Amino acid sequence: MNRFPKIGYGLVGLVLVAGIGLLNLGVTFAGDQFPIRSVQVGGQFRQVAKLSVEQVLDRYVSENFFRINLAEVQQVLQELPWVYRASVRRVWPDKIYVTIDEELPIAWWQKNKLINGDGHIFEPDRVDNVPSVSDLPRLFGPQGASSEVMAAYHQMGRLLYRADLEVVRLALSERRTWEIQLSNGMAISIDRNRSLDKLRRFVTFYNSDLKQKNKLIEKIDLRYENGIAVSWKENPLLVLNEI
């Protein structure tokens, strides 16, 4: 009859001991124990200065391994020029491992900014040491439309590539009209209604009927439902319906 209370007291004692142990462990985590002793940095550094990354991380050395704010470290690193993404993780028992992904510019955005393949806009501290950056195409669009313009650049570029045509400038107006400038000097206008279908139709027609005359063409207008308008450099406008 008395053994059950003894078991109960023993269980209570075990819980108390465990609770005290967890409390001590919490104090240890919150104190000066488990300091970060080293930071390892990975990634391919072409434009990002590795020294700048290391200087940021130096301020976190000796912080508590469990209490360091990894999100804060990540945010500070991603504010550095040319850093697209930073991943930060703990490595037991006393290390922080950081991986840096650099921005990869695909085009210029507006006048003096760059844009990557995801439509993310960034403004580098310098570009004089970036090979071929001056040869990148120019993209323009309303505020907040960078992802839309970049997606269109990829899609339209792939279609025009089938006709050996290269986009050097792409602009989206406030009215959602596309203006394309090609490397051969030809310009193309497309409205927002079925723009890719119209461009696809143009590529087919260009390859079959216009390619041999491309040096004579000044502008192509695809803002027609069932045809195109061709402006020649030395001849009047020609409208081709039902192509």
Report the CATH number that the domain containing residue 206 is assigned in CATH: 3.40.50.11690
| 109 in the same domain as 75 | no
* Phi–psi pair at 55, nearest 5 degrees: -65, -35
* Distance separating alpha carbons of residues 34 and 65, to the nearest angstrom: 6
8 domain residue, yes or no? no
Can you give the pLDDT at residue 76? Answer: 96
| 173 in the same domain as 211 | yes
**Over the stretch 14-52, which tens digit does the pLDDT of each residue have?**
444 444 444 444 444 555 689 999 999 999 898 898 999
Can you give the pLDDT at residue 161? Answer: 97
The number of folded domains in the chain is: 2
| 113 in the same domain as 80 | no
Can you give the pLDDT at residue 242? Answer: 52
| 123 in the same domain as 56 | no
Can you give the pLDDT at residue 115? Answer: 95
29 domain residue, yes or no? no
| 227 in the same domain as 114 | yes
Can you give the pLDDT at residue 239? Answer: 57
* Distance separating alpha carbons of residues 234 and 218, to the nearest angstrom: 9
3-state secondary structure of 241: strand
Amino acid at 97: Y
| 79 in the same domain as 90 | yes
| 122 in the same domain as 82 | no
219 domain residue, yes or no? yes
22 domain residue, yes or no? no
183 domain residue, yes or no? yes
Residue 136 has a CB neighbour count (10 Å cut-off) of 17
Report the CATH number that the domain containing residue 86 is assigned in CATH: 3.10.20.310
Which residue numbers in the chain have pLDDT < 70? 1-32, 128-129, 131, 235-243
Can you give the pLDDT at residue 110? Answer: 92
Domain span at 149: 105-241
| 137 in the same domain as 113 | yes
3-state secondary structure of 87: strand
